[in-house]
Structure 1
Amino acid sequence: MRSFLTMLGIIIGVAAVITLVSIVSGFSEEMLSSFESMGTNKISVNIIGRGSSRNVEPDEMHTLAKENPELIEYVTPTVSIQNATIKSGSTNITSSITGVNEYYDEIDSKNIETGRFLTYLDVEHRLKRCVIGTYISQELFGTKNGVGQTLKINGTQFTVAGVFEETAGSEDGSTDDIIVIPYTVAQKLSYNGKISSYTFTGADKDKIDITKKTIENFLYSKFEDTNAYLVISMAEAVDIINELMGMVSSILIGIAAISLLVGGIGIMNIMLVSVTERTREIGIRKALGATGWDILSQFVVEAITTSAVGGIIGIILGIFCAKVLANSLGLPSAISATSVLVAFSVSAGIGVAFGYLPAKKAAKMNPIDALRHD
């Protein structure tokens, strides 16, 4: 029991490190996968502020794209309507609406399962057409093929022109809860008809930085104020996520390391008690010819063994907890061999670091004094 209690701090610390690193890595993988599926050649532009002086017309952005065909492949305005009421017959649901142009399916790499995507005429003539995700189609019409059906968005009737291909792993509807309409219609439905967001795709992934700079130069020439806009590429977003996840991981590991430190102190205390209890044994061994090094190595090995066994139990517990949490959160289980090896090495290292002082004390004992000890 005493040995188990000695190992408890190590077990908890190692298990916490394995679990936290796995969950953070899994979350990071999920986020990065999501961004990469969107395309790392995408650039998002947000116009900040209100008033006509802070406005960019779609024609201006299209002109910019036409003037730089070697840099810009597609561009679409984006008008978002949050928490819109969607109705079909007696069925009501709430969803977000995205107003775009005919290039959105190319920009966002969306495939059409049935029907078609929005066309130039839909956008130009402000036709009430929409393309929906399979989740929306199933919820409203009881089928994944809702082409030709009608629905109302905040009271305005639309005809379903197409249904997006179902996204893998979207059983809960999270990625297929999508409705897109012409941005020209979305402007009329939104409280603020101003277009404050655009999405570009770069023609060359190797020139994304140049493309971003070109867009920024255009916006600066228009507003003469760098605070009037925000331009960010998906590649930058990926870098930011990696940096953020690294910081979070470091903080969590630091917290878990406190438990390892406590476990190490526990090992040192127990080893000191063990040295005191085994004073006569140490004296007998020395009297029979054991050197200080023999005694030192004996107690260090005992400390390492205790710590390493605690580390192994902690690794097993950590892997179990990581898999359970990953499954419950819907994240990939990202348990790396490196994190397991590091956790085991640290636990063994703690045995050396915190077992050395008691071992040194035992090695320096005078055999005569040790034999007199009761």
Structure 2
Amino acid sequence: MNGLQTLKMALKSIKANKIRSFLTMLGIIIGVSSVIVMVAIGQGSTKEVQDQIGSLGTSLITVTVTGSDVTFKEKDAEQIQGVNGIKAIAPTVSGRVTVKNGRNNTQLSMIGTTSSYLDVRDLHLQSGRFIADLDNDNHSKIAVLGSDAAQTLFGLGNPVGEYVKVNGTSYKVVGVLESVGSSLGTSGDSMIIVPLSTGQRLASTSNIGTTYVKVENEDMINFVSSLIERTMYTIVGDSDSYNVSSPKDLMETASSVNKTMTLLLGGSAAISLIVGGIGIMNIMLVSVSERTKEIGIRKAIGAKRKNILLQFLIEAVVLSSFGGIIGVGIGVISAQIFTIATGTTIAYSIPVMLLSFAFSLLVGVVFGVFPANKASKLDPIQALRYE
């Protein structure tokens, strides 16, 4: 008996017991579809986080002073400018302020910074101008609004040239930024930017909290980070009182965490594939018992042990492969439904789909061997007498 005939017999046997065959495949279907959905969600989450981090700028280094008792002034931040490979720096102070225009009143993130902030953070103006060095020198009460802040305070009107009250003091709006959206759960559009000297007054501190550094060449970012680390240690003297990070570091960390989560989710879902394999073995054992006389007749007319073994093994593989194909289809559809319902980003992985299908075939082989081997060892005389 050739392979094609054996395959036809397996399909005939499956077709004769449709409901039982479907229930047998159900574990494989659930397992494969679960793996595809879980991995798609996990990889989609990784991609979304990486995109958000990437939007911060791939040539950006963030220097944050974390020690509460550390004194770090503007002149200290300017020492970073002397590090090789740095294009520009933007020291900042931050805080929360109440901004009012007529009856419109809102709480905004306040950033006090210098004229280089626009270039360092790769921002663009929607209208007006940005902060100038002269504004910082003169402690000017001027402000640049984020796009959401401008809409909240002025609606559809043009804020440039108008005045707002910041913590009760009048500030002139000189510019509005283009929308940058949210990144890592923080909106970049609900903020107000003022000159550094003015921001220090609003925040009641002269200390620089965060300094943004733009590197000339993003390929040098690790090298420049090391140089900044040395400079900061010279200035601060305590490595625990500051932090030097880049989007690349954050990407690697986020990617590592998400990969671990994806493996855990995929591994948990893969357990149902094992359960499905046990179901296949159970049904195949039942099938061997039901078809004992058929096996005896086939052996009596010349069927060899390997023919019987191959027949039942192919039947198990066909069941698991059908379950794998259906599981892949349901997994793709389920992931699509999930992203439509929740708005979550997903990322399909062709290798994972192929691996899930290959694993379902392997399950069919592994759990089909025992029943097939049992069938092939039946004594033909005893099998013919079986009732």
The reply to whether TM is greater than 0.5 is yes
- 1:173 Cα deviation from its structure 2 partner: 10
Aligned to 1:37: 55
C-alpha distance 181-15 of structure 1, shift in aligned 2 (>3 A) = farther
2:79 — aligned with what?
63
CA-to-aligned-CA distance 1:70-119 (integer Å, 9 cap, x gap) = 4111111232325x444322223343333322111111111111111121
Shift of 1:29: 1.4
CA contact (8 A) 2:42 2:346 kept: no
Distance 1:158 1:305 in 2: 75
Distance in structure 1 (CA, Å) of the matches to 2:91 and 2:339: 37
Matched, 1:225 2:243: no
Match of 2:90 in 1: 76
Retained in 2: the 8 A contact 1:134–1:144?
Answer: no
Aligned partners of 1:144, 1:333: CA distance in 2, in Å? 38
Tell me if the contact between 2:76 and 2:235 (Cα under 8 Å) persists in the aligned partners: no
Tell me the percent identity. 39
**Distance of 2:35 and 2:68 partners within structure 1:** 47
Larger radius of gyration: 2
Matched, 1:50 2:50: no
Separation in 1 of the partners of 2:181 and 2:230? 39
Which stretch shows the higher mean deviation, 190-199 or 358-367?
190-199
Superposed counterparts of 1:111-130, under 5 Å: 111-130=124-143
Which of 230, 236, 248 is the equivalent residue of 2:249? 236
Calculate the TM-score normalised by the size of structure 1: 0.90
Is the Cα contact below 8 Å between 2:45 and 2:346 reproduced in 1?
no
- CA pair 13-87 structure 1, distance change in 2 beyond 3 A: farther
Counterpart for residue 348 of structure 2: 335
Structure 1 residues 149, 274: closer, same or farther in 2, change over 3 A? farther
Does structure 2 retain, via aligned residues, the 8 Å contact 1:11–1:314? Answer: yes
Instruction: Give me the whole-angstrom Cα distance separating, in 2, the residues matched to 1:25 and 1:307.
Output: 26
Q: 1:15 to 1:102 in 2, by over 3 A?
A: same
Report the number of matched residues.
368
- Shift in alpha-carbon separation, 1:342–1:141, aligned structure 2, 3 A: same
Could you tell me which residue of structure 2 aligns to residue 293 of structure 1?
A: 306
What per-residue deviation string (whole Å, max 9, x for no partner) do you get for residues 157-181 of structure 1?
33322122234899x9955334322
Paired with 1:73 and 1:195, the residues of 2 have a C-alpha distance of 19
Query: Are the counterparts in 1 of residues 43 and 259 from structure 2 also a CA contact under 8 Å?
Result: no
Determine the C-alpha separation between the residues in 2 that align with 1:328 and 1:110: 33
Tell me which residue corresponds to 1:278: 291
Consecutive unaligned residues in structure 1, runs of 5 or more: none
Sort the Cα spacing of 1:215 and 1:175 in 2 relative to 1 into closer, same or farther, 3 A. Answer: closer
* Per-residue CA distance 1:133-190 (angstroms, 9 max, x = gap): 32222222222743223333443433322122234899x9955334322233332223
- For 1:1-374, what aligned pairs fall within 5 Å after superposition? 1-51=19-69, 54-65=70-81, 67-68=82-83, 70-82=84-96, 84-143=97-156, 145-167=158-180, 174-190=187-203, 194-374=207-387
Secondary structure at the counterpart of residue 78 of structure 1: strand
Q: Give, in whole Å, the separation in 2 of the partners of 1:110 and 1:154.
A: 26
Match of 1:38, SS state, is coil
Cα distance, 1:99–1:321 mapped onto 2, change above 3 Å? farther
Q: Compared with structure 1, are the counterparts of its residues 150 and 272 closer, same or farther at alpha carbon in structure 2 (3 Å cutoff)?
A: farther
Contact 1:135 1:173 survives alignment (8 Å): no
Range that drifts further, 137-146 or 311-320: 137-146
Cα distance in structure 1, aligned partners of 2:22 and 2:190 = 51
Deviation at 1:281, TM superposition (A): 1.5
DSSP-derived class of the 1:146 partner: coil
RMSD value, Cα: 2.4
Contact 1:135–1:144 under 8 Å retained in 2: no
Shift of 1:250: 1.0
